[in-house]
Amino acid sequence: MDDQPTRDPLDDTQPTAERPRRGSARARQERRRQRRIAAGEPLPSLTPPPSGPPTESPAESPAEPTAAFPERARPLSDSAAYTPPAWPPTAAPDSADAAPPALPRRRRRADRPARAGIGIPRIQLPQINLTIDRVGLYLIGSVIFVVVVVIVLGRVRNQPVAALPNAIWIGTEWTYENRTDEEVETFVARLQAHQIGTVYAWVSWLQENGEWRGTPENYAAVAAFVEQFNRLYPEADLYGWVSFPADLGGYRMDDANLQQQIADFSARVVDEFGFEGVFLNIEPVRNDDPNFLDLVRGVRRALDVDVPISVAIPPDWSPVGATIPVPPLIVPGTEWSRDYKQSVALLVDELAVMAYNSGLRAANDYSAWVAYQVETYAEAVASLSGVNTEVIIGIPTYDAEPPGHDPLVENVPSAIAGIQTGLAAAGENASAVTGVAIYAGWETDETEWADFARMWVNAR
């Protein structure tokens, strides 16, 4: 780099007819100055460079200071956020004969002080006059735009798609049977049309003899359905539905061996069958039962920490002191305490409140009873700081099962009316309630699907 020419590029050595004969150094500098003014180029400083650290050549110092650096000195990507230098610009000289003062220079990497004891020789770089026409600017801008779009789309693509808010229980008509892709696609289209993104799919239940109901062929069909459903509806959350009748042949939830069996089978549901999570349907669970908490803890230990657990939760059938209708056939005080609700919520990812089988005799009474379930569970869960457990409200579409369930009383319209009332009463706590779950898919007829769409899906 040292052999590069250091003379002024405008100082032609070949005389021309327009060029005056040799004169004084001042005259030559004045002629150069006039030509630079005519060409719109910056003027060189006429003063010698200051002593001290290496400086830029006079040709790089503008004679007329501006509030910002020349455009070519700004990186294109930083032009929008450019900050003028901290030092104030120096006023222009009053006359052409007066020597303008040297301007403070932009501090570049080469200008930084050397480390103590290390001398850095000054290297004179050739001046590069970079000019970009309008077409070049358009091309650079287009490239930057494309890069930004690619980055944004990449971030959006990598973000998980949120599941639709509602849920449904499905049975062996799907998990034990071989279904074509067309049948599953039709089912998926219906789920999506009703904003159903969570499915509790039947797997098995623990019998009185301590064995799980089902054959190897059944379980092979379950695994095949999981693969097929996940392929055709990958955005959905598919839970394996595991059931445990706690009072079958007498109370048995305190049996540590049975608790371990449930935990082991839950791990199998995820690891072998391929479900995303486990849905535990354990009934009945009475208030403050520590064995239920122990059972859920065992399932949690058997699963990876990121595997979601959903549990079926009984309603507060006959809460004491509540100003709502209560079932005539249920013992007063059949409810969970607020503390017990929260203890369960701390162990799982979702509470599915079974807001049906109330035994009430009037639709309005049932709606008020459902509203209470929504409000009380929303308040209990929302009060937990830093907990993301969700509450989903189950509604009935199944056939009559007296004396607990009468479809003329407990139905989609009366249940949705109660949910809407409960959400309004819950206020800010309503955010804990994320959706509605239909029980059950195999008994929901076209009228009930239409009522659900009209009163819940399309009304929100």
Q: Give the pLDDT band (50/70/90) at residue 144.
A: confident
Residue 117 pLDDT > 90, yes or no? no
Asked if the structure places residue 144 within a domain, the reply is no
Q: Are residues 95 and 191 in the same domain?
A: no
Domain harbouring 261, CATH code: 3.20.20.80
Sign of the C-alpha dihedral computed for residues 250, 256, 257 and 258 taken in this order: positive
Whether residues 96 and 215 fall in one domain: no
Higher pLDDT: 57 or 371? It is 371
Q: Which of 107-116, 191-200, 259-268 has the lowest mean pLDDT?
A: 107-116
The rounded mean pLDDT for the chain is: 78
- Secondary structure percentages of the chain, helix, strand, coil, to 5: 40, 15, 50
Q: For the residues 215-241, what does the mean pLDDT come to?
A: 98
Length of the chain: 460
DSSP string for residues in 252-308? -TT-HHHHHHHHHHHHHHHHTT--SEEEEEEE---TT-HHHHHHHHHHHHHS-TTS-
Concatenating the DSSP letter of every residue in 374-406 gives HHHHHHHHHTSTT---EEEEEEE-SPPBTTTB-
- Cis before residue 284, ω within 30 degrees of 0? yes
> At CA 94, angle to CA 89 and CA 97, rounded to 5?
115
Q: Tell me what pLDDT residue 309 has.
A: 98
In this predicted structure, what is the pLDDT of residue 87?
A: 33
**Structural domain containing residue 29:** 1-11+24-48+57-106
Q: What is the dihedral of CA 273, 276, 278, 279, to 10 degrees?
A: -110
If pLDDT is split at 50, 70 and 90, which confidence band does 3 have? very low
Q: Is residue 351 part of a domain?
A: yes
Shared-domain flag, residues 67 and 199: no
| H or E stretch covering 154 | helix 134-158
HSE of 391 in the Cβ direction (CA atoms, 13 Å)?
33
CA distance from start to end of the chain: 73
195 in any annotated domain? yes
Residue 272 is assigned to a structural domain of this protein: yes
pLDDT band for position 460 (50/70/90)?
Answer: confident
The span from the CA of 42 to the CA of 39, in Å, is 9
Given a cut of 80, whether residue 392 has pLDDT beyond it is yes
Instruction: Determine, yes or no, domain membership for 118.
Output: no
Q: Would you say residue 432 has pLDDT above 60?
A: yes
Give yes or no: residues 33 and 179 share one domain. Answer: no
Whether the pLDDT of residue 190 is over 90: the answer is yes
In this predicted structure, what is the pLDDT of residue 433?
A: 98
Residue 368: both structure tokens together: 């008020």
Which one has a higher pLDDT value, 52 or 444? 444
Whether residue 289 is found in the same domain as residue 364:
yes
pLDDT-derived band at 134, boundaries 50, 70, 90:
low
Q: Which of 5-14, 24-33, 126-135, 394-403 has the lowest mean pLDDT?
A: 5-14
Would 284 be classed as within a structural domain? yes
Distance between CA atoms of residues 395 and 405, nearest Å? 11
pLDDT for 109 equals: 33
Position 43 pLDDT exceeds 90: no
Please give the pLDDT value at position 126.
54
96 lies in the same domain as 239 = no
What pLDDT was estimated at residue 427? 97
Query: At residue 331, does pLDDT exceed 80?
Result: yes
Q: Is residue 178 a contact partner of residue 231, using CB atoms and an 8 Å limit?
A: no
In this structure, the answer to whether residues 176 and 86 fall within a common structural domain is: no
Residues 6 or more apart whose Cβ sits within 8 Å of residue 62: 42, 43, 70, 103
- DSSP at 21: P
Distance of alpha carbon 388 from alpha carbon 207, whole angstroms: 33
Which residues partner with 215 through β-bridges?
none
Decide if pLDDT at 56 tops 80. Answer: no
Residue 197, classed as helix, strand or coil, is strand
Judged against a pLDDT cut of 60, whether residue 378 lies above it is answered with yes
Q: Are 312 and 429 part of one and the same domain?
A: yes
Q: Which residues pair with 204 in a beta bridge?
A: 242
Residue at which a domain ends, from 106, 128, 146: 106
> What pLDDT does 91 receive?
39
Helices 363-382/412-426 angle, 10° precision: 40
Residue 174 shares a structural domain with residue 263: yes
Q: Please compute the mean of the pLDDT values over residues 407-436 and round it to a whole number.
A: 98
Buried b (16+ CB within 10 A) or exposed e, 209-229: eeebebeeebbebbebbbebb
**Average pLDDT estimate for 69-82:** 33
Q: What is the rounded average pLDDT of the residues 310-332? A: 94
Residue that has been written with the tokens 């009945």 in this structure = 284
Regarding whether 271 and 381 lie in a shared domain, the answer is yes
pLDDT given for residue 411 in this prediction: 98
The pLDDT of residue 137: 62
Mean pLDDT of 20-32: 45
Indicate whether 120 belongs to any domain: no
If asked whether residues 4 and 83 sit together in one domain, one would say yes
Higher pLDDT, 300 or 92: 300
Pair (288, 383) in one structural domain? yes
Greater confidence, 328 or 455? 455
Can you give the pLDDT at residue 113?
40
Q: Say what the pLDDT of residue 99 is.
A: 39
Cα separation, 284 vs 331, whole angstroms: 14
More confident: 96 or 326: 326
Q: pLDDT at residue 221 above 60? A: yes
Contact partners, residue 107, CB within 8 Å, separation at least 6: none
The total number of structural domains that make up the chain: 2
Q: Is residue 213 part of a domain?
A: yes
Q: Which of 71-75, 229-233, 238-242 has the lowest mean pLDDT?
A: 71-75
Predicted TM-score of the model (pTM): 0.67
